[in-house]
Amino acid sequence: MKLYAPSTIKEIKEKYGFKISKSLGQNFLTDKNIIDKIIDAMELTERDLVIEIGPGLGVLTAEAAPQAGKVLAIEIDKNLIPILKENLKEFDNIEIINQDFVKTNLINLLEQNDIIRGQKREKVKIMGNLPYYITTPIIMKILEDRIPADSITIMMQKEVADRIKAAPGSRTYGALSVAVQYYCTVKDVAKVPREVFYPQPKVDSTVLRLDVRKERPVELTNENVFFACVKSGFGQRRKTLGNSLAGVCGLSKEEAQAALAEAGIDPVRRAETLSLSEFAEIANAVAAKCEKR
Ligand code: SAM
């Protein structure tokens, strides 16, 4: 059965009386080429554990399972669970979990799946065609909670992918770019036009593969201060750094200016011009001042 065919989706809707939920971001993929590109980009092996966010009808799940050790498919919509069980019944290495991914205890799940197919698990690879409204919280949950994932291959709204990939100086460069690029290297996998979904969304998509860095790209004395500086800098984009950094851990404007001078950064610059390493220099100078308070 071609799970991705629009005719199959219509049959499933009728057979199960299933109603597609707009509020859960249900836009199902109907293009086998895109499905193949996503699965190929993951470079799966039999010792990999795949965690899928929002399997929907199981189109990606069914392609990943034959290549992976095991797939944990986490779907929030209870109405999709009997459909997924039926669609994926030929596979014995898929566990369907009816949960909200954002609330799932991933560390517990990983502990329970340390051994797969009788062997020690090698890599943890996260994948998903994400509902647009929770893309950023989902990515940040995985990264900030330090979930020991090796890669995250996900489809998202094109504009969010553009922000993640953005380089300093570009209009789309912001706190999300800095945060994701701090934790990961970012690779483009595919551009996905809106026409390949059922129902058709109002936006185009992009698939990115984020490879979680084994080592941080910059040395930080205090990661929390780094993220506070990034947040503060981009939260007040129009302000110069001398002004926008005042307030981080209660620093005065003068102290913020002094920290910038110590980091060798001109206080009239704005956050969107700073590279990751310049942010790190600033954060370390600010952290030294915060410690003395
Ligand atoms: N993977 C399928 C595909 O590509 O056709 C479905 C993609 S659809 C864009 C997003 C899926 O995520 C839906 O099945 C939706 O019910 C599910 N979903 C939405 N929010 C979720 C959450 N918080 N946790 C887990 N699944 C969620």
The answer, yes or no, to whether any atom of ligand 1 lies below 6 A from the CB of 74, is yes
Specify the pLDDT at position 33.
97
Which residues, 6+ apart, have CB-to-CB distance to 3 below 8 Å? 57, 58, 59, 62, 87
User: How many angstroms separate the CA atoms of 131 and 122, rounded?
Assistant: 28
Specify the pLDDT at position 238.
83
- Both tokens of 182, joined, read 């701090």
How close is the Cα of 186 to the center of ligand 1, in Å? 22
pTM equals: 0.95
Specify the pLDDT at position 80.
98
Specify the pLDDT at position 191.
98
Q: Which residues of the chain have pLDDT under 50?
A: none
Closest CA to 83 of 1, 156, 155, 153: 1
How close is the Cα of 131 to the center of ligand 1, in Å? 6
Consecutive H or E run containing 91: none
User: How many angstroms separate the CA atoms of 168 and 29, rounded?
Assistant: 33
Candidate of 83, 129, 130 to mutate for ligand 1, largest count of ligand atoms within 8 Å of Cβ = 129
Q: For residue 4, report the phi and psi dihedrals to the nearest 5 degrees.
A: -85, -10
Residue-level length of the chain: 293
How close is the Cα of 15 to the center of ligand 1, in Å? 20
User: How far is C-alpha 3 from the geometric centre of its chain's CA atoms?
Assistant: 25
Specify the pLDDT at position 1.
77
- Both tokens of 160, joined, read 């969010």
Specify the pLDDT at position 293.
74
User: How many angstroms separate the CA atoms of 251 and 241, rounded?
Assistant: 13
Beta-ladder partners of 210: 152, 186
pLDDT digits (tens, 9 = 90+) for 71-87: 999 999 999 999 999 99
Atom of ligand 1 nearest to the CA of 128: 1
